[in-house]
Amino acid sequence: MPAQEHSMAHLWSPFTLGGKPLPHRLAMAAMTRGRALPDGTPHPDAAIYYGQRAGLGLLIAEGTQPSADGQGYLSTPGIYTDAHVAGWQRVADAVHERKALLFIQLMHVGRMGHPENTPHHRQMLAPSAIAAGVDIFTAEGMKPAPIPREMSSGDIRQTIVDFAAAARRAIDAGADGVEIHAANGYLLHQFLAANANHRDDAYGGDSLRRVRFPLEVAAAVAKVIGPQHVGIRISPGLKIGGIAEGEETPEVYRHLVRQLSRLQLAYLHITHAGDEDHLASLRQDWHGPLVVNRPGRARSDIGEDIAAGVADVVSVGRMALANTDLVERLKTEQPLNEANPATFYGGGAAGYIDYPMMEAAAAQSA
């Protein structure tokens, strides 16, 4: 069997995650789509969107704010009101109807946002009063992310409560679990990075103290809904949102992952930034299911991490966005739809729920 076929064969073996069966090792990564209703309730089309992609088995829903303070972008969904719960219930029902699992990603943006995009227009929160140095899209166009307010000890305690309450609401909405977003330059990632966290209290300073906040969030969420319903995403060494972790990256993440492993969470999700040795060391430190995301990985290489034992599950983004029948296309070696970046964020059904399936695509080209 050719090496490529061998690695892809491993991709289709079943797996158990959080005590629940998955039909294969391919999952859908969280992707912001910017189509929520003005109050943060998922748009009715979200149930169609996620239901269409349920063949992926494990769907990690888009970044969802656990509180009004956690929002930073326009039209992102929340999970902190009764209306939000009702909206997510429709999504969960659509996913479960097709026998897939739904984990809602809890994303607090921290400094990576703009007050104009929040319900209350308050100053953004962050570990320290250091701007991200990026521009954020608002209703009036692109604007610099402003200097955030350094979180007080009370802010930290409240944010932990917000994450736990949001997780409870996600389960109430019918989700199978939540993924805590501690990656990609957002709040928990900001606490981990020395260039974003200049605190001199118990949540800043050396690398051991900078991991405290993400650990406390994870422990609080696991206590409320059970560790088997909790995943967490990290992105060691990823330079995004003004984050530059530097030489301390391996030390910070090995300590974080070793402590997280004790919580016996459903999975750890790593966005891989290129350091293979570090990924291998984290694989050894983590004693549960490992999901690996390699942005931009070629179709032919998707199964390699499973075949090599580097990952238990691999997640994909744009491929899942553009191909509702991705699993079937990969299994039968059919061409893939190309994702349209112009429709990634905001808008309506176009580029959201209208990507053609194989039969439709074949008919259009005939």
Joined together, the tokens standing for residue 237 give: 């060494």
Alpha carbon of residue 309 to chain centroid: 22
Task: Spell out the long-range contacts of 129-138 with Cβ–Cβ below 8 A and sequence spacing 24 or more.
Answer: 130/195, 130/196, 130/198, 130/242, 131/242, 132/185, 132/196, 132/241, 132/242, 133/242, 134/241, 134/242, 136/72, 136/73, 136/112, 137/73, 137/74, 137/345, 138/74, 138/114
- The position carrying tokens 């059904």 is 349
Q: Phi and psi (nearest 5°) for 53?
A: -100, 15
CA–CA distance, 240 with 271 (Å, rounded to integer) = 12
Number of other CB atoms surrounding residue 139 within 10 Å: 10
Would you call 186 a catalytic residue per the annotation? yes
Task: Tally DSSP H helices, then E strands, for the chain.
Answer: 13, 14
Joined together, the tokens standing for residue 94 give: 């659509």
**What amino acid occupies position 339?**
A
Task: Please identify which of the residues 50, 80, 186, 355 carries the catalytic annotation.
Answer: 186
CA–CA distance, 131 with 146 (Å, rounded to integer) = 6
* Contact in structure between 339 and 321 (CB atoms under 8 Å): yes
Active site residue ranges: 186
